[in-house]
Amino acid sequence: MVKGIRLLSHDFIEGMYSTVHFYSKKSQKLVRVKTLGSNSQAAVWIYKDGRVMFKPKPYKHTANYPLKDFN
């Protein structure tokens, strides 16, 4: 380790899985699909009126870089 610099490594073997939850007839929500990965998770809610809500959640220990850095 160089003084003051921490090196990060990434593992590309990722065990992802999804869970599906159907809501009761009384709920405004129809279904939730939640996907969990090694570096983030995301959920999609589909409502009976056709609305869709998407919420990604990257984990705090994950190093993220802006897309403009790769151009």
pLDDT tens profile 46-61? 999 999 999 988 776 6
Q: Which has more pLDDT, 14 or 45?
A: 45
Q: Where along the chain do its domains lie?
A: 17-60
**Distances 16 to 3, 29, 48, 50 between C-alpha atoms, Å:** 35, 24, 27, 27
Cα–Cα distance, 17 to 31 (Å, whole number)? 17
Beta bridge partners of 29: 47
Average model confidence (pLDDT) across the chain: 78
- Asked if 44 and 54 count as a contact pair (C-beta separation under 8 A), the reply is yes
What is the pTM (predicted TM-score) of this model?
Answer: 0.61
